[in-house]
Amino acid sequence: MKILVYIESTNNKIHPVSLESLVAAQKISESNGAEVHAVIFNTNLIDALSNYKLDGLITPDNEELIYYHPLLYLEAFNQINLKYKPNLFIFGHTYETRDWVPRLSAKLDIPFISDCVDIKYSDKITVNRPIYQAKLAQKLSITSEQAIISFQAGSFSADDINRGVCNSNSESFDLSSVVDTINMGERFQESSGGVDLSSAEFIVSVGRGIGKEENIPIAENLADKINAQIGSSRPVVDAGWLDHSRQIGSSGQVVSPKLYFALGISGAIQHLVGMKGSKQIIAISKDKNAPIFEIADYAVVGDLLEIIPKLTDNL
Amino acid sequence: MSQDVEIKENKTLDEFTKLQDLSSLEGLGGSFLVCPLDQYNVFSKENFSEEQKMFASTAQDFAVNRIKPVNDQLKKLNKDLSLELFKEAGDLGFLGIDIPEQYGGMELDKTTAAIVVDYLSACECPSFMVTLSAHTGIGILPIVWYGNEDQKKKYLTKFATGEWMGCYALTEPNAGSDALAGETTAYLNDEGTHYILNGQKIYITNGSWAEVCITFAKVGDKYTSFIVDKTCEGFVIGAEEKKMGIKGSSTVTLYFENCKVPVENMLGKLGQGGAIAFNSLYAGRYKLGITTAAGAKYTIKCAYDFALERKQFSRSITEFDMLKNKFAQMVVRTFEAYTVSYATTGSIDFSISKLDKNSDDYYEKMQKIIEDHAIEASIAKIVGSVSLAENADDGVQIFGGAGFIEEYPAAQIYRDERINRIFEGTNEINKLIIGGTFLKKAILEELPIRDQIYHRMEDYLPALTFSGDHELSSEISVIELSRSLMLDMLHRLILKYGQDLKNEQWALEPLADIVVCFSVMQMGFARYNQLPDGEHKKRMNCVVKYSIYRNFNILKERINMLVPYICANSEVGDVMDSINQRINDLKYIPDAIALKKSICEELYKHGKYYLG
Amino acid sequence: MKICVLMKQVASEDSPLSISNNIIDKASLNLVTNEPDSYALEEALLIKEKTNGEVTICTLGPESSQQVIKDGLAKGADKAIHIICDNTETMSSLDIAKIITKKIQNENFDLIFSGLQSNDYGFAQLGIIISELLDYSNACLVMGTEINENKLKIKKELENGWFQWSELKLPASLSIQSGINQPRYATLKGIMSVKNKPVDKIDFSELGLSLNAGYTIDEISIPQKSKQTQMIEGEVDDIVSQLTDILKNKIKVS
């Protein structure tokens, strides 16, 4: 069996979920001896991978692959497939993956099982993935010769990566056949002066359950008291109550603080993805069925407007 | 009500024909009084068409996603936001349901109009619903029914979109329920171009927000209706009233100070004001039945959600049986309110659908059909407003101490609810209408009531075509016996008072109560009985049974009150004995507590009112 | 401008979920339009209004999915394609895309819109796969569109608060991010117009495709909790003192 892991670059760094995907591949390799290869298009980052245990690292000669372009990536992968014929392609379930990997599935005519959270091997590859907004889970066995899977952030820990030797083989892709119908523009950020929550020790995070904008200070007072940063779920940002830079989740920041204090956050899967790595989670919600309670260490079913001001005073 | 009816007393008992097929009365106002259960159908929520279901869902979407989130701001008087939402409601078509298509409306059936207010009520903002309903009902309908072509073109097109808001100004300081005693006057100016109005109208919903007002004034001794534009010289808007509830709606006094109204703004004919004033109110009543039913439904949800979280003696208070008793009754009342309101719109629509839409007198005939359903409209208004009132009261009680604190929703529901038993005709006026209309329909033989009195005297409990093992067979007997008792009471009252009965309020009120209880039983049974077998029907079984049980009890109590009052002393004992004998013969002893237990269990399973 | 919007019927968020023999009990589900798809429809309707275009809804699903079509037509779509299929839950995104592509390939749509993902199976692939099958340009997580003549500019949402404007050649398939617009409500007039709008209904078996997902579904389950959650209960003051203790002594906030 041959596994190919795609190493995505983001802001000229390796995307954390790519390393987690590599852990998944290594895990399979341990149980069935599969070859694990990796592909990285951003050649600036090759060195960062040189200490990992890999059967091969494919790197391109082509400069135009340094920056993401769906059609160029698609053609490059098409050529990789012809040469390497991996049984399993593994991606992180990132925004970039969503943008072009489904095309790859169509181009190669092989299934793409996206947003997985676990993988196992015994006779065949089985994966787990959440369905119905993570209220249910499904377990799938791959029966086709080749398949693509992608992993949700946080499914594996990058700390578990096996180190070792890695040989890189440079490939030259012929991309001349690609008809350019997509002209990618400059990337930009909308909010002024972004807040980096990824290094915050404590986070007090606000969800729709706070009720209205005027109640935001209740959360801010608590945050001040315990030296925490303010974070939020998407609806609060969409409503304009907090700046986009505070947003945590699949379309915001991914955080792993010592304490994540969720106020009125029900825990939509898109939010949980961004904070489930937190060491301790305290959640307050009126809804006793709120999914966030599933991953919380401490769950309070109650009215945060009553509890939090008193708690802040008490601390 | 105020005009005397001519009694046809020249018929002898033998002349009454035995009507075999009473089902031909379908669509006639009051037909429920005489149609036996096996010849009677009602319209109910279960009968909504595909299109009506979609109307419901778009109204609910708008209510829940657009209005409810800004509820906090609508609790206080907020003109800008209220008008903004009002306009959006117009864009979606919610304001034009009763307006003909050529004036930008939708011209849909009365049930659809009811559905829209029902599902808009999901906004849980009674203030906004009052604003909207005052516009679509008494604001718009007088012009739809009585306006001329120019008036319809000018006003209805803008009413449909929500560009203009309408209001209806009837009540005066010395003329409330007795509206015709109004002192506002109008006279034609020397040039013959304008009527000059003088007087004042109080408690006018939408008064300060509306561009247009329908009002009434005496021209000489002729009570006449006018359309007054806000821009008319001498039209003065008073200060906002400070109200007990629905504080987010506008209520003011309007003053006419030599107010110059162009002659072309007279609505209907000189002297037609009385008819316009009263007829416009009927439609508002059954719609109020719907909005109050919806209010009763949301009160259950609100109380249940609170109770579930509230812990005493380390368990949720929903586990206490006395609270279960309250919840079960809240469900039953909501069921009753919805049942009678949609039965009313359905019957009206049934008759309207038979009219020729292209005939010149289409709207006149439509208005007559609605007027013909005065008794149903009043019942819907009373049952709805009382159901909501009792649910709101239970709601406060379930909240306990929190029910008395403004921060929690129960207190506002309690304050907002109160007006429903007052406006659109007080519940007392509506009882007069019920008793009076029952009497009138009997005497004028608009319905074969006297036939039925005659037959029921012969056979108190006629055999019906239901199979013997019908799951509600004892309830069927209860309802048919109740009909006989009701007709018996009317008969005795007519014998004693003749048409003076309409002035005998001590007797008329219990009679109206009997009619209300009876209608709830009859319509509730019919709604249940026509359902296809299945989960929904199973869930409704206990509710309809308990509803019949509790209404039968009230009905018996009112009879106990009436008989000694209207029968000669020497008769009272015999009459009561024979009535009690008939009741005892039914052997109707349902386990009411068991029924309430099942109802509450079902409610807890769903977490909200579960019958639509 | 001819626009196709891919829409799906899914279980509402508050639907009760029960499983027996690895099958979800469908009868107990409360079925609604997949919320992300409403944003796709709204964006299509906005472009239709600007370009005097035509919007076609396309759904794949059982009879009950006609509700999605009716809602969409009521909101302003012009016509619909309903591919009847009762077991989409066992199909791969690729198979579903092949079915839809087979049906729409000759329609020459300028734009195909889809919601970011479905709230039930959540593969987030369909519109992008179709772009490859039909050789369209594509973009996903679209947060804004600008269309001038045949030029399409789109604003894409990237991770960590970054965005990117790109230019696409038509035809294109866009997967729309939720929140891009404010989906409209159906008007009463719109609802009444539904019965006059054409719906092209076809059973998927008539398309003559042989399909193979490439995987089997072995199990559907309620996820096991990985964490022990301690419930903090009681009166408000009680809760406050427990939380204070946890924050001060266990987590040791300063």
Q: How confident is the model at residue B9 (pLDDT cuts 50, 70, 90)?
A: very low
Residue C84 pLDDT exceeds 90: yes
Please tell me the predicted confidence (pLDDT) of residue C254.
66
CB pair distance less than 8 Å for C188 and B311: no
**pLDDT for position C233:** 82
Q: Touching check for A209 and chain C: CB below 8 Å?
A: no
pLDDT for B6 equals: 46
Nearest to A136 among C93, C126, C221 (CB): C221
- Partners of residue B116 in chain C, C-beta under 8 Å: 188
Q: What's the CA angle centered on A271, arms A284 and A223, to 5 degrees?
A: 50
The confidence score (pLDDT) of residue B12 equals 46
Closest to A115 in 3D by CA, of A127, A103, A100, A99: A127
Q: Do B92 and C74 count as a contact with CB atoms less than 8 A apart? A: no
For residue B70, give the chain A residue with the closest CA. Answer: A212
Tell me the residues of C at the B interface, defined by beta carbons under 8 Å apart.
Answer: 70-71, 74, 185-189, 191-192, 194-195, 233
Q: How far is CA A120 from CA A50, A88, B233, B294, C221, in A?
A: 26, 13, 84, 53, 17
Q: What is the mean pLDDT of residues B15-24?
A: 61
Q: Which of C70, C185, C192 sits opposite B92 (nearest CB)?
A: C185
Q: Minimal Cα distance from C188: which residue of B?
A: B93
Name the phi and psi angles at A90, rounded to 5: -120, 130
pLDDT digits (tens, 9 = 90+) for B548-572: 999 999 999 999 999 999 999 999 9
Copy the structure tokens of residue B46: 């279960």
Q: What pLDDT is stored for residue B176 in this prediction?
A: 79
* CB contacts, 8 Å: A232 with chain C: none
Q: Which residues of C touch B96 (CB under 8 A)?
A: 188
The whole-number average pLDDT for the span A155-166 is: 90
Which has the higher per-residue pLDDT, A12 or C39? Answer: C39
Mean pLDDT of A182-190: 87
For every residue of B353-414, DSSP letters joined together read: TTS-TTSTTHHHHHHHHHHHTHHHHHHHHHHHHHHHHHHHHHHHHHHGGGGGSTTSHHHHHH
Chain center to CA of A257: 16
B253 contacts: CB under 8 Å, gap ≥ 6: B200, B201, B202, B203, B204, B207, B238, B239, B241
d(C-alpha A32, C-alpha C130), whole Å: 35
In this structure, of B405-409, C80-84, C168-172, the range with the lowest mean pLDDT score is B405-409
Here the ipTM equals: 0.91
pLDDT at B345: 96
Given a cut of 90, whether residue A256 has pLDDT beyond it is no
Q: Report the distance separating Cα B301 and Cα B291, nearest Å.
A: 16
Residue in chain B nearest A288 by alpha carbon: B309
What's the average model confidence in pLDDT over A46-54? 90
Q: Does A150 reach chain C within 8 Å, measured CB to CB? A: no
Tell me how close the Cα of A299 comes to any Cα of chain B, in angstroms.
14
Helix (H, G, I), strand (E, B) or coil at B97: coil
pLDDT of residue C82 exceeding 70, the answer is: yes
- Contact (CB<8Å) B72/A212: yes
B311 vs C contacts (CB less than 8 Å): 233
Judge whether residue B2 has pLDDT over 80.
no
Q: What is the DSSP letter of B185?
A: E
Check pLDDT > 60 for residue B7.
Answer: no
Mean of pLDDT over chain B: 93
* Cα of A35 to nearest chain B Cα, Å: 53
pLDDT, tens only, C106-132:
999 999 999 999 999 999 999 999 999
* Same fold yes or no, A2-179 and A202-313: yes
Q: What is the pLDDT of residue B5?
A: 44
C151: pLDDT strictly greater than 50? yes
Beta bridge mates, A92: A151
- How far from C103 is each of A165, A229, B130, B180, C58, CA to CA, in Å? 50, 51, 50, 69, 10
Model confidence at A37, in pLDDT bands (50, 70, 90)?
Answer: very high
Identify the structural domains of chain B with CATH numbers, from first to last.
Answer: 3-41+435-606 (1.20.140.10), 46-165 (1.10.540.10), 167-271 (2.40.110.10), 277-427 (1.20.140.10)
- The pair phi, psi for residue A121, each rounded to 5°, is -130, 125
pLDDT the model gives residue A245? 83
CB pairs A-C closer than 8 Å: 252
Q: How far apart are CA B227 and CA B185, in angstroms?
A: 14
Out of C120, C139, C232, whose CB is closest to A300?
C232
Q: Which helix (H) or strand (E) holds A106?
A: helix A95-108
The CATH class that applies to domain C2-207 reads alpha beta
B216-272 confidence digits (pLDDT tens)? 999 999 999 999 999 999 999 999 999 999 999 999 999 999 999 999 999 999 999
Nearest to B114 by CA among B342, B423, B380: B342
Q: Quick check: B576 pLDDT over 90?
A: yes
pLDDT at C78: 98
Q: Which of B306, B308, B309 should be substituted to probe chain A, the one whose Cβ sees the most A Cβ atoms within 10 Å?
A: B309
Residues of A in contact with B309 (CB under 8 A): 286, 301-302
Distance separating alpha carbons of residues B525 and B481, to the nearest angstrom = 14
Q: Could you tell me the end-to-end alpha-carbon distance of chain C, in angstroms, rounded to an integer?
A: 60
- pLDDT of amino acid A270: 81
Structural tokens at position B464 = 């019906």
Q: Using a CB-CB distance cutoff of 8 angstroms, which residues of chain A are in contact with residue C36?
A: none
CB within 8 Å of B480: residues ≥ 6 apart: B36, B37, B461, B462, B464
Is the pLDDT assigned to residue B142 strictly greater than 60? yes
Q: Chain A, 249-278: which have a CB under 8 Å from a chain C CB?
A: 251-253, 258-259, 269
From the candidates A132, A287, A300, which should be mutated to test the interface with C, based on the most C CB atoms within 10 A?
A132
* CB burial string B232-266: b at 16+ within 10 A, e below: bebbebbebbebebbbbbbbbbbbbeebbbeeebb
Distance from the Cα of A185 to chain B's closest Cα (Å) equals: 36
Q: Please name which of B529, B548, B534 lies closest in space to residue B595, comparing C-alpha atoms.
A: B548
Segment (H or E) for B289: helix B273-309
Encode pLDDT of C23-79 as tens digits: 899 888 999 999 999 999 999 999 999 999 999 999 999 999 999 999 999 999 999
Establish whether B15 is a catalytic residue.
no
CATH number given to A202-313: 3.40.50.1220
Give the domain ranges of chain A: 2-179, 202-313
| CA atoms of B64 and A83, how far apart (whole Å) | 56
The full 3-state SS of B31-80, as one line of letters, equals HHHCCCHHHCCCCCHHHCCHHHHHHHHHHHHHHHHHHHHHHHHHHCCCHH
- State which fold the A2-179 domain adopts: Rossmann fold (3.40.50)
Structure tokens at C116: 């970011």
Average pLDDT of chain A is 91
Cβ B171 vs Cβ B134: under 8 Å? no
Which pLDDT band holds residue B1 (cuts at 50, 70, 90)? very low
At B331, is the pLDDT very low, low, confident or very high (cuts 50, 70, 90)?
very high
Q: Touching C: which chains, 3+ CB pairs < 8 A?
A: A, B
pLDDT at residue B310, rounded to an integer: 82
Tokens at C170, concatenated: 């038509």
Q: What is the mean pLDDT of residues B340-368?
A: 94
Write down the catalytic residue from B124, B172, B376, B424: B424
Average pLDDT of span C88-110: 96
Phi-psi region of B212 (alpha: psi -120 to 50; beta: other; left: phi over 0): beta
Say whether residue A48 is in contact with chain C using an 8 A CB cutoff. no
Per-residue confidence at C140, pLDDT binned at 50, 70, 90? very high
